[in-house]
Chain A
């Protein structure tokens, strides 16, 4: 499966009960000096997750964890679905934020609302952001917190979330974006669908402006 593909997933849900989580909280600015798009996972929510201040290049496995932070609780260790509050991903447009979520292992984020740029950046990086009505998110928070090992099934094809009790929650997603995610088409993949057009253009220009191809 391509890193940008998402079809269906059943996984543990981690509840992050804060609103307005900004991208600097998702991945603090000192880590932007990295030359990689991967490896941000250990520094996801760095300031909340650890008791010390993280530095780029440091081995985070040796750092003191904040036991109160939700992702440090054993019951959420294998979570792939993040449940969050309104305006998730606000602030700076850094693409490092979805990179960090993905690298940590999150494939789905459910929240009442998302910041625009972050929302777009998710799709570019194979993460499915699902906006749900406030009330529904609230109910999910209660359910997740009351039962250890709480899992949800997220089915993009059907545009449905299924709870362990079999309750079905429908969700909306832009048809074009759904198509891209289901087929693992990132923008590049999409453009490459038109490879023949690109080649034809090059052939035409090879004749018209041969010096550019010399």
Chain B
């Protein structure tokens, strides 16, 4: 039998019909919905007098527009009327069609990509879609997961299928052992720095190697989350014991009677040893340093102990122009030390880094320290109500608050500033989110992508600093 990659296996397991022209009808096991990209899809169903094909395959939660301050008023506490209507509409649509919604104020509400795995709505071997590009996150569980457009959201609602062409197979192998203080976010930023934001175009990227095997499932989610920033719609990690342990006992996980069969089925979702990839990239994990993005694209990253690049030293004039424009927007000088970049805002949150391990890693740095006086605002926004609850049970909220952080309610928040949390113009933000595009966190805002522990260290120091100095790790 022909050796198959993990992606091949996931694809093959979901083909409903193969067409001559190379397209296929692919079955979708799970659709996640949020308030921004779903209203027109529901409207389309209504206009065409259609019903969802399989109501129970859908799960909805509002995240982009929800305020992270008091939620006591429920939806009515959203001040911006347009945001409020979007959130309300998700509620009425899900009610009308009988779809489960984790609404505002529900402890299960949160960022859709945190809620999916956490609730067991995402399981190994599944196909998962959502009208959101960071759906790649769910691939960490050995699921085929990617973002789709609004017409496709409607298509999945109505048919439980998508018309797709198969992507290419790409393997990013990170071998070796990570140094202390270096985490999943540094790994994925280093990968994007190496292959660029178009490096994974047209591919499903499988992340493999010793580093990925050693990594926790939550860490794998951080890596897969940013597959899209490397140009790949889907990121994947093979199923192993950690995956299975992670899934066990979650709300939508298989019940006792099916558990053994499920584990046996899932165990097949890894690439065969002799599987052939269209593209293979290798990185030595033991060389990865804590990363900081200095520009306006996620590929514009550097190690914390290096300097901001100098466009004059770039031979390619197009690249040099790109660096110049980015430095101009970011208000940075060529050759300045990354550790000399002063920080005004700190944002710990987003679907990349708002899970328990992220908050623990940050709290670990913050504990017993204070946020630097030059920081205007430092936010911690847990990814879901459950994460918030657990963090509070562990006393992390107190650690953050005592240090001078604001402890908020779950949502996308300052990741894209669609709610009231915005980065003001020209302010530098150490952010654990995934996109540093111009204006992403607020018009004119300057985003630096970092890991949760690096964001915490920057909050304390008031500028970037190698977090290992605060961890007592000798370099």
Q: Could you tell me which A residues sit within 8 Å of B by CB distance?
A: 2-3, 33-38, 56-57, 95, 99, 124, 186-188, 190-192, 194-195, 197-198, 201-202, 205, 208-212, 214
Contacts and interface: CB of A to CB of B under 8 A. Distances in A.
Interface stretch (B45-53, B273-281, B402-410, B444-452): B45-53
Contact of B89 (A35, A205, A210): A35
B141 to A, nearest CB: 14
Contact of A36 (B43, B54, B126, B155): B43
Contacts of A201: 16, 27
Contacts of B254: 211, 214
Contacts of A209: 125, 262, 265
Given A38-B43, A211-B254, 5 more contacts: A35-B39, A191-B158, A191-B159, A191-B161, A211-B123
A29 to B, nearest CB: 13
19 contacts: A3-B48, A34-B39, A35-B39, A35-B89, A36-B39, A37-B40, A37-B43, A38-B43, A188-B50, A188-B158, A188-B159, A192-B159, A195-B159, A198-B160, A205-B27, A210-B258, A210-B261, A211-B123, A212-B123
B343 to A, nearest CB: 31
Given A194-B25, A201-B27, A211-B255, A188 B155 contact: yes
A96 to B, nearest CB: 9
Contact of A38 (B47, B82, B89, B150): B47
Given A37-B40, A95-B150, A198-B161, A191 B258 contact: no
Contacts of B159: 188, 191-192, 195, 198
Interface of B: 16-17, 25, 27, 29, 39-40, 43-44, 47-48, 50, 53-54, 81-82, 85-86, 89, 123, 125-126, 149-151, 154-155, 158-161, 163, 253-255, 258, 261-262, 265
Given A95-B149, A187-B163, A198-B27, A211 B258 contact: yes
Contacts of A3: 47-48
Nearest to A121: B151
A124 B151 contact: yes
A191 B24 CA distance: 11
B82 A33 contact: yes
Nearest to A189: B48
Nearest to B89: A35
B153 to A, nearest CB: 11
A197 B50 CA distance: 19
B163 A208 contact: no
A95 B151 contact: yes
Contacts of B27: 198, 201-202, 205
Secondary structure type dominating chain A contacts: helix
A20 to B, nearest CB: 24
Nearest to B88: A35
Nearest to A209: B265
B151 A187 contact: yes
A6 to B, nearest CB: 16
A195 B160 CA distance: 10
A186 B81 CA distance: 33
Contacts of B123: 211-212
Contacts of A212: 29, 123, 126
A195 B48 CA distance: 17
A2 B48 contact: yes
* Highest count of chain B CB atoms <10 Å: which of A56, A188, A198: A188
B40 A188 contact: no
A87 B407 CA distance: 50
Given A56-B82, A95-B151, A201-B27, A37 B44 contact: yes
Given A188-B158, A192-B159, A198 B43 contact: no
Nearest to B39: A35
Contact of A188 (B89, B154, B265): B154
Contacts of A124: 151
Contact of B155 (A37, A187, A208, A211): A187
* Highest count of chain B CB atoms <10 Å: which of A3, A191, A198: A191
Contacts of B258: 210-211, 214
A209 to B, nearest CB: 6
A34 B27 CA distance: 30
Contacts of A205: 27
B43 A194 contact: no
Contacts of A195: 159
Contacts of B16: 194, 197-198, 201
A201 B44 CA distance: 25
A107 to B, nearest CB: 16
A186 B29 CA distance: 22
Contacts of A2: 48
Contacts of B160: 198, 202
B265 A208 contact: yes
Contacts of A57: 81-82
Contacts of B126: 212
A214 B158 contact: no
Which 7 pairs show the lowest CB-CB distances between chains A and B? A211-B254, A35-B39, A211-B258, A37-B40, A191-B159, A201-B16, A35-B89
Contacts of A186: 48
A214 B120 CA distance: 13
B43 A197 contact: no
A198 B53 contact: yes
Contacts of B163: 187, 190-191
Nearest to B81: A57
Contacts of B40: 35-37, 95, 99
* Highest count of chain A CB atoms <10 Å: which of B16, B25, B125: B16
B386 to A, nearest CB: 22
